[in-house]
Structure 1
């Protein structure tokens, strides 16, 4: 039988702390959320490996180190409201819930909306609202947000998502070029000006909705 608590401890000590993740709140959150609860039963034994884990429908749990780097770059404060774009089964939202005041977990897959809601409720995570909707449209009804996190590689950030940030708000995503090379990037809003900086190279799988070509109607 897998000792998940020991596996989680080893993930934090061997994958996270040793790779320039120094934010204690991020480290603590990753050490307390049971990652295995959010993956298919047959994959729970590999839940703490440093790799992406398939869920369904193009969703996956992002590898722990890249996710940790994104969280550290977001510089989340305890009173922040966070939009989690592409929450899948809810693991990312559960971690974000430990770092912030409120999380709006956005998911376009209806079955995953239900699954995420049930898993989070089962873990008594009471500061997350799981909502269904288009990932590229965001969720302006519950915004604006101090932080937006996109759970997968995207070629660009839609302006409508950036517009849902507060002044001083941060959007964190892995921006990937046509070759697949990705970089954890933080975009900050100051008034009507958006500035971006690259944090670290990262290779994660794409979030499908952001890669679909526009359809034209004649």
Structure 2
């Protein structure tokens, strides 16, 4: 059976993403154009536009389209922005960020995922302004500052050093807390926090809460 990905993409935007209060036309346009199926495993291509998380290997998953849409909208990216993505995964969000901003640096802790994401971007002829580095963001150090940062895995608490990478006026999208109810939030460089929605996703490697021992 041949799948009409263009139609599936349109249905994803109209039936999943837009009804979940994603109304930014630039974000909707990107999600309606970019071939999400090019960033998932061959065995999951038929599910590329379903309202589910998809496995990427190494225990990592691709976010649901609705969460991706809300994240991209919250970041309110401008054409001149420099963006840091923590957790490259499949490279799909990297591609979306690259379409909305000037430059994207994406950190991926798993070398195999980083390599595959770069191959996905190149095959889709996307991400010419996206650079992928193999690094653990919890240990990574830089003198650079960014207009926007997004963390694609949950954290128990937001690492303070990541907030220091924001420029004045910058913003960080993060999903924090404990399963099964986590809070997606936008944290501004001035310290203000905007609560966005509740969800539940896997933790960024190394960012899970310490185990609680019961007596």
- TM-score, structure 2 normalization: 0.92
2:201 is matched with 204
Q: Structure 1 residue 138: deviation in Å?
A: 4.8
2:104 is paired with a residue whose SS is strand
Checking the alignment, whether the CA contact within 8 Å between 1:135 and 1:209 is kept in structure 2 is no
Q: Structure 1 residue 111: deviation in Å?
A: 0.7
2:186 is matched with 186
Deviations 1:104-161 (A, max 9, x none): 11101001111111111222220100111002235625x2110000112211111111
2:48 is equivalent to residue 51 of structure 1: no
Partner Cα distance (1:203, 1:85) in 2: 18
Q: Structure 1 residue 212: deviation in Å?
A: 6.7
Map 1:86-101 to 2 at 5 A: 86-101=87-102
1:208 is paired with a residue whose SS is coil
Shift of the 27–77 alpha-carbon distance from structure 1 to 2, 3 Å rule, reads: same
Aligned residues: 209
Partner Cα distance (1:104, 1:47) in 2: 24
Deviations 1:10-61 (A, max 9, x none): 1001111122111011111111111111111001101111111110112211
Checking the alignment, whether the CA contact within 8 Å between 1:154 and 1:174 is kept in structure 2 is yes
Instruction: Give the 4+ runs in structure 1 shifted more than 3 A.
Output: none
1:78 is matched with 79
1:13 is paired with a residue whose SS is helix
Shift of the 30–138 alpha-carbon distance from structure 1 to 2, 3 Å rule, reads: farther
2:34 is matched with 33
Partner Cα distance (2:49, 2:25) in 1: 19
Checking the alignment, whether the CA contact within 8 Å between 1:138 and 1:161 is kept in structure 2 is no
1:131 is matched with 133
Unaligned 5+ runs, structure 1: none
- TM-score, structure 1 normalization: 0.90
1:122 is matched with 123
Q: CA RMSD, aligned part only? A: 1.6
2:7 is equivalent to residue 6 of structure 1: yes
Shift of the 53–139 alpha-carbon distance from structure 1 to 2, 3 Å rule, reads: farther
Unaligned 5+ runs, structure 2: none
